């Protein structure tokens, strides 16, 4: 099942990544774990859909049917929607109840569907309307920054804004970075040393859980295997 994809970073502190993709045929794909949530739009059989997808704590198999075009905004750690607690979306999501070819419903309001090039303008509108809020401390501490509040306060704020613990986020992001390195040809032992895994079995367990692949499969991909969902090197806060 061919998958064509394109993605880019963002200068918005609310956004981690903007992506678009196209699938053709019927088959399965491996959806890898992700510690962020996203707003996704896709057209299938001439019908538009929109949904909020929460963080995914493990790799899973997902079915793709027919020809489909999709576009998504992946939000940075610390960005959330007060009306839709992220904790309830972990390993799940929520579809928009009403979508047309040009608009979708979010927080009971109609919004124009954005595109790949104007995602940041759309995000700005959501921020001004109070649909999106941001706790900058969360993105800083997730990427190793120092917190000026107590550890319990940090834990509460991270959980409230991401639906996950700091430990879970770091495990997922480390596995994603390991997968990128292995895909670029880095030896497994070098990945173990660079990313702080205990040993190769520790790396292997992490990859299987979060990526759904072995180190060998990532270094030498099988063209006949189910394709992976979007995978890119984890990046720190915008402007860092």
pLDDT digits 0-9 by tens, 1-52: 557 789 999 999 999 999 998 887 657 788 999 999 999 999 988 899 999 9
Determine how β-strand 15-23 pairs with β-strand 3-8: antiparallel
Q: Where are the beta strands (DSSP E) in the chain?
A: 3-8, 15-23, 27-31, 38-44, 47-53, 60-64, 68-75, 79-80, 93-95, 103-106, 109-112, 133-134
Q: For the residues 73-77, what does the mean pLDDT come to?
A: 97
Residue 7 CB-density burial (10 A; 0-12 exposed, 13-18 middle, 19+ buried):
middle
Q: For the residues 68-89, what does the mean pLDDT come to?
A: 94
Q: For the residues 118-128, what does the mean pLDDT come to?
A: 98
DSSP bridge pairs for 79: 134
Neighbours of 26 (CB within 10 A): 11
pLDDT in tens, 88-115: 999 999 999 999 999 999 999 999 999 9
Q: Find the range with the poorest average confidence among 58-62, 159-163, 201-205.
A: 58-62
Pick the more confident residue, 131 or 240. Answer: 131
Cβ atoms of 106 and 131 closer than 8 Å: yes
């Amino acid at each position: 099942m061919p998958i064509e994809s394109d993605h880019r970073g963002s200068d918005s502190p609310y956004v981690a990544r903007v992506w678009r993709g196209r699938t053709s045929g019927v088959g399965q794909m491996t959806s890898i774990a992700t510690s962020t949530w996203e707003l996704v739009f896709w057209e299938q059989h001439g019908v538009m859909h929109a949904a909020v997808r929460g963080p995914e704590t493990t790799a899973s198999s997902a079915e793709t049917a027919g020809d489909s075009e999709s576009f998504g905004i992946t939000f940075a750690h610390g960005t959330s929607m007060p009306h839709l607690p992220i904790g309830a979306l972990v390993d799940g999501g929520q579809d928009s109840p009403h979508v047309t070819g040009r608009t979708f419903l979010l927080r009971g309001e109609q919004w124009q569907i954005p595109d790949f090039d104007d995602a940041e303008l759309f995000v700005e509108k959501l921020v001004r309307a109070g649909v999106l809020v941001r706790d900058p401390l969360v993105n800083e501490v997730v990427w190793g920054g120092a917190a000026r509040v107590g550890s319990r306060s940090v834990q509460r704020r991270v959980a409230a804004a991401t639906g996950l613990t700091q430990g879970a986020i770091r495990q997922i992001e480390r596995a994603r970075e390991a997968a990128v390195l292995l895909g670029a040809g880095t030896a497994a032992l070098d990945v173990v040393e660079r990313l702080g895994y205990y040993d190769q079995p520790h790396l292997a367990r992490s990859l299987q859980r979060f990526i759904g692949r072995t180190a060998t499969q990532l270094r030498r991909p099988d063209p006949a295997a189910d394709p992976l969902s979007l995978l890119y090197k984890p990046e720190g806060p915008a402007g860092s």
